[in-house]
C-alpha cells in the first residue's frame, strides 16, 4: 500500500509517521510537501501532528489553504482514504471534511501524557480490529484538543456511528475524570459519513514500536492494512 505523509511548515510528527509506516509496517511511503499539487498516486494520505504554520489564528486554520490541501480534499471527496492525527485532525475539521472543531483544552494548558482510549465502533477502517471492551494506552500532546460539536451534530454522529474513539480510564470506563481536555462526550476521534476520512487527537504512531515499550497504537495500522489489502 502506498501512503503519502504531508509535511507543513511546523509539522513535527511527520517523520514519526513516516518511520512507523515505512519501518514498522513495511509500506511504501511518499513524503509530500505542503506546496505540492501532485499526490503521486498514493492510496492513503496522512496529515501528521505538529504546529502547522505556527498554529497562528487557530490550529489548522492556515494549513487548510495550502496548495496540497486542494488535492487532499479532492482525493477525499472521490473516496480516497485520509487520516489526520492531532494537528492533522484539526486541519480536517477546519476544511469541513470532518464535523466539529478542536478548541483549547479545558484547563488552558498544553497536555502531553499517556491516556486511555476505547474504540466506539468496529465499523471503520481504523477500528475494525479493535476490542470494543479494551482500553488502549496511547499518548496525547496538544493544547487545542477539546473536541466540540453542537447537540444536533453530536446526535448525528451517534446515529451514524461516526465516533471512532472515546477517552476512558484504564479499565475502559468512559468517565469525566478520564477526559483529559474536556471534549464533548469524551470524543477522541471521528470519521465522516462516507467512512473514508478519519481524525483523532491521540498519536498511535508514538505507540507502535517495541523500542518505546508500547505497541498498542500499531493495532490501528494493522487494521488499515488488513481491511484494504
Residue 137 CA, chain-centre distance (Å), reads 15
Answer yes or no: 93 catalytic: no
Instruction: Given the residues 86, 93, 94, 144, select the one marked as catalytic.
Output: 86
Domain 2-228 has CATH 3.40.50.880: yes
Q: Which three cell numbers stand for residue 193?
A: 459519513
Instruction: Given the residues 13, 34, 94, 203, select the one marked as catalytic.
Output: 203
Answer yes or no: 168 catalytic: no
47 forms beta bridges with: 84
Asked if pLDDT for residue 87 goes beyond 90, the answer is: yes
Mean pLDDT of 170-194: 98
Q: Which three cell numbers stand for residue 54?
A: 505556527
SS3 120: coil
Mean pLDDT of 50-58: 88
**34 and 65 in contact (C-beta within 8 Å)?**
no
Per-domain boundaries in the chain? 2-228
How far is 87 from 199, CA to CA, in rounded Å? 9
Q: Which three cell numbers stand for residue 35?
A: 506546496
Asked if pLDDT for residue 196 goes beyond 70, the answer is: yes
The residue among 20, 106, 98 whose CA lies nearest residue 64 is: 98
Answer yes or no: 86 catalytic: yes
For 209, which DSSP code? B
Asked if pLDDT for residue 68 goes beyond 90, the answer is: yes
Q: Give the Cα-Cα-Cα angle 99, 100, 103 (nearest 5 degrees).
A: 150
HEC profile of 56-85:
CCCCCCCHHHCHHHHHHHHHHHCCCEEEEE
Mean pLDDT of 22-47: 97
How far is 207 from 212, CA to CA, in rounded Å? 7
Q: What is the pLDDT of residue 229?
A: 66
Amino acid at each position: 500500500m502506498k501512503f503519502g505523509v504531508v509535511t507543513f511548515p511546523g509539522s513535527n510528527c511527520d517523520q514519526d509517521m513516516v518511520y512507523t509506516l515505512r519501518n514498522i509496517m513495511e509500506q511504501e511511503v511518499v513524503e509530500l510537501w505542503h506546496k505540492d499539487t501532485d499526490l503521486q498516486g498514493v492510496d492513503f494520505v496522512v496529515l501528521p501532528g505538529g504546529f502547522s504554520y505556527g498554529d497562528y489564528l487557530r490550529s489548522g486554520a492556515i494549513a487548510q489553504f495550502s496548495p496540497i490541501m486542494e488535492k487532499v480534499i479532492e482525493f477525499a471527496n472521490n473516496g480516497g482514504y485520509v487520516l489526520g492525527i492531532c494537528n492533522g485532525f484539526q486541519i480536517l475539521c477546519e476544511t469541513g471534511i470532518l464535523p466539529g472543531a478542536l478548541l483549547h483544552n479545558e484547563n488552558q494548558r498544553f497536555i502531553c501524557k499517556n491516556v486511555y482510549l476505547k474504540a466506539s465502533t468496529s465499523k471503520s477502517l481504523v477500528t475494525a480490529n479493535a476490542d470494543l471492551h479494551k482500553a488502549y494506552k496511547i499518548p496525547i500532546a496538544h493544547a487545542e484538543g477539546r473536541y466540540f460539536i453542537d447537540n444536533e451534530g453530536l446526535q448525528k454522529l451517534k446515529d451514524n456511528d461516526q465516533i471512532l474513539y472515546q477517552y476512558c480510564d484504564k479499565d475502559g470506563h468512559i468517565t469525566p475524570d478520564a477526559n483529559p481536555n474536556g471534549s464533548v462526550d469524551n470524543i477522541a476521534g471521528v470519521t465522516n459519513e462516507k467512512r473514508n476520512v478519519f481524525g483523532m487527537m491521540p498519536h498511535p504512531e508514538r505507540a507502535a514500536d517495541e523500542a518505546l515499550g508500547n505497541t498498542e497504537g500499531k493495532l490501528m495500522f494493522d487494521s488499515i492494512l488488513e481491511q484494504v489489502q
